[in-house]
Chains A and B, each alone.
Chain A
Amino acid sequence: MQKKDIGLGAVSIAFGAWIWYMAAALKKGADFWPKIVAGSIILLGLIILVMALMEVRSKGTEGTKKAKGNPQYLHVMAVIAVLIGYYVAFQYVGYTIPTFLLIFLSALILGYRNWKVMIPTSLIVSVGLYLIFTHLFGIRFPGAFF
């Protein structure tokens, strides 16, 4: 808990400082609001950091007990990777195929294994969304194929 907060405080201070640095280059008037924001972020970062350090000093770092079940960060990263892949693919390949893969791969990563449901669902949702958005809402998707 405290360890995390030490990190959070430090990152906030650094981020606030960076905003301040960027804002300092702006013309007078435009810098006013961002500087207030930057200052507040630095201040809050400091408070979080000091609190966490104080807690460490008084209680030691044995920390809180682990949450039940380890979070599977690999799966989280995989979903993010699929999303980024989707962002690139749907601009060049088209809408339907990447959307099909997005649904299919997400289900795979999340641990769904019933193929007989997975494939038709992915197909129906991707094609269905395509038809609704292009025909009813007049949206034109980018990419080479439909």
Chain B
Amino acid sequence: MMNHIMEGFGTLFTLWNIFILVAGTLVGLIIGALPGLTGNMAIALMVPVTFGMDATSGLTLLTAIYCSSIFGGSISAILLGIPGTISSFATTLDGYPMALKGQAGAALGNATISSVFGGLFSSVVLMSLTTVLAEFALTFGPAEYFAVAILGLSCIASIGGKSLTKGLLSGFLGLFIACIGMDPQLGIKRFTFGSVNLLGGITMVGALIGLFGVVSVLKSAEKAQKLAEKTSKMPDVGSTWIGWKMCLQLLPTWLRGSVIGTIVGIIPGAGTNVATFLAYDIEKKISKDPESFGEGNPKGVAAPESANNGVTGGSLVPLLALGVPGNATSALFLSALMLQGLATGPTLFTDHANVVYALFLAFFLANIIMAPLGLFLLRYMKTILSVPESLLGGIILAFCVTGVFSISSNPFDVLVLIIFGVVGYLFYKFDVPSAPLIVCLVLGTMAESNLRQALVSSGNSYSFMWTRPITAAVLLISVGSFFAPIITKMMKAMRKRRSNMITVDDMASSLEEEIEED
């Protein structure tokens, strides 16, 4: 392997390739930072361009954009509370509260280093274990996909905020919205009201940016009078370097996030989103101080950021070894490989070892370059915060509508954005959290479609839920994960009222109060 790596070095290290690596990383960072724009879009534009390059340069370009665009999404998530893509949604949960507390710099620096860690971890796994882990991807049938989706969904109980019932309500509304469109197994139109635009379902990024971007502006509008009186000054954001002590504290979080990201990345179709939800949720559950999550806990930023960059390397494992892309972005890598005439599979590692190892190294280097470039860019980007809120609102709206329109050049998506902005505002007014809705909207289709596929293959028997070991284990964990926060709350409520006579009704209501008061 060592000689392959050296060979890869030889192939990668030309002035042109290094230039491409740096430029690609910058482009990815900027594109990722713009709401609605994803690295996917940039990579799709670049694939035909790579056709004219040699294999190493082409793949280096795509790799650089892929790694850095996923990180770039965290910039708007932290500074403005607007996740540009779903993979940076979980970062918003604690990153934005950190920014509000005047720790924007620390949050951004944290996100940068966490991303780099996750990326490096997954590139090491990619480099050393690809052939071993690829088989793992094939063990996932519909039953296992269903279980993974349920595991993702189980975290709504803990990210739902103060009221459990309202969190669940938000989640089930998300599941309903996920039903809109073609039924996945029977091809029947559901809740489309005769609109062609709804056949493919609600555009998730449109809904996401509506719920966060538009709502943030509506919240500003609510206090317009006060905004006008406020004089703008550059808020204190603090340093972006988080210090070695913090790094040491975050190390376990990074490791967990990276492992989760890499594993989930390897499962084709599970995607970046599940990984970020899971990483965030686990971090919150094992924390001694779960209450501080959602209020600006640095671990709440570190976990999803290391996970989403962990996915990048993981998603290339089944691609390179089996020719099966793990997510939409790695499907684009497949196209690029095919255009170069490189067939995926074990032969790729023997016949084109120099290209493969150059790709691995590019992956590694892109993640390393990301840190200084990211921190450098952030120095300028955080000046966004000095723009007065009353002026910034319109600019945010312009970016949101433009970004959302560009997803598929369909004006309907802009309407989706506006509607979800209004819905999100109503949620805010009724103290219903939006986060569970997003999680369920993302995972609803995956859960339903795979449940029904699993039922087809088991002859309509639910026995697959306990006869298949991975499914059973994951479902069991999901149940535990869902009920753990509820039981903890109940225990607390019990302890508090131990002296009183407790009827079942009382307990339920006390539970509700307890949760609401927290």
> Nearest chain A CB to B439's CB is how many angstroms away?
14
Q: How large is the interface on A (under 10, 10 to 19, 20 to 34, 35 or more residues)?
A: 35 or more
Residues in chain A near residue B393, CB distance under 8 A: 79, 106-107, 110
Q: A residues engaging B (CB < 8 A)?
A: 4-5, 7-8, 12, 19, 22-23, 26-27, 29-30, 32-34, 37-38, 40-41, 44-45, 47-48, 51, 54, 69, 71-73, 75-76, 78-80, 83-84, 86-87, 90-91, 99, 102-107, 109-113, 117-118, 121-122, 125-126, 129, 133, 137-142
B220 touches A37 (CB 8 A): no
The interface residues of chain A lying within 8 Å CB-to-CB of B414 are: 86-87, 90
In Å, the complex CA distance between A63 and B518 comes to 18
Tell me which of A22, A41, A75, A110 has the highest count of chain B C-beta atoms within 10 A of its own C-beta: A110
The stretch of B100-108, B354-362, B415-423 in contact with A is B415-423
Q: Is the CB of B179 within 8 A of A34?
A: yes
Q: Are A102 and B224 in contact, with the CB atoms below 8 A?
A: no
Chain B residues with CB below 8 A from A138, complex form: 45
A139 engages B398 (CB within 8 Å): no
Whether B172 and A40, one on each chain, are in contact in the complex, defined by CB atoms closer than 8 angstroms, is: yes
Q: Is the interface of A mostly helix, strand, loop or mixed?
A: helix
Question: Is the C-beta of B165 less than 8 angstroms from some C-beta in chain A?
Answer: yes
Q: Does B173 contact A (CB under 8 A)?
A: yes
**Interface size on B (CB < 8 Å)?**
61
A41-B173, A71-B223 given; A29·B452 CB < 8 A: yes
Tell me which residues across on chain B come within 8 A of A102, comparing CB atoms: 394, 397-398, 401
B418 touches A83 (CB 8 A): yes
| Of the residues A26, A37, A48, A69, contact of B223 by C-beta under 8 Å | A69
Q: B residues within 8 Å of A by Cβ?
A: 37, 41, 45, 165-166, 168-169, 172-173, 175-176, 179, 183, 185-186, 188, 190-191, 214, 217-218, 220-228, 388-391, 393-395, 397-399, 401-402, 405-406, 409, 411, 414-415, 418, 421-422, 425, 429-432, 448, 451-452, 509, 512
CB–CB A133/B226 < 8 A: no
Give the residue of A37, A72, A87 whose beta carbon is less than 8 angstroms from that of B418: A87
A29 CB, nearest partner CB in chain B, Å: 6
CA distance A48 to B432 in the complex (A): 11
Q: Which residue of A lies closest to B401 (CB)?
A: A86
Select from chain A the residue with minimum beta-carbon distance to B217: A79
Q: 6 smallest A-B Cβ distances: which pairs?
A: A111-B228, A106-B394, A103-B394, A110-B390, A112-B390, A75-B221
A69 touches B226 (CB 8 A): yes
Q: Are B225 and A4 in contact (CB under 8 A)?
A: no
Q: Is the CB of A76 within 8 A of B425?
A: yes
A76-B222, A137-B45 as given contacts; A129 in contact with B399, CB under 8 Å? yes
What's the Cα separation between A138 and B49 when bound, in Å?
Answer: 14
User: Given contacts A51-B512, A87-B414, A129-B399, is CB(A29)–CB(B394) below 8 Å?
Assistant: no
B452 cross-chain contacts in A, Cβ below 8 A: 29, 32-33
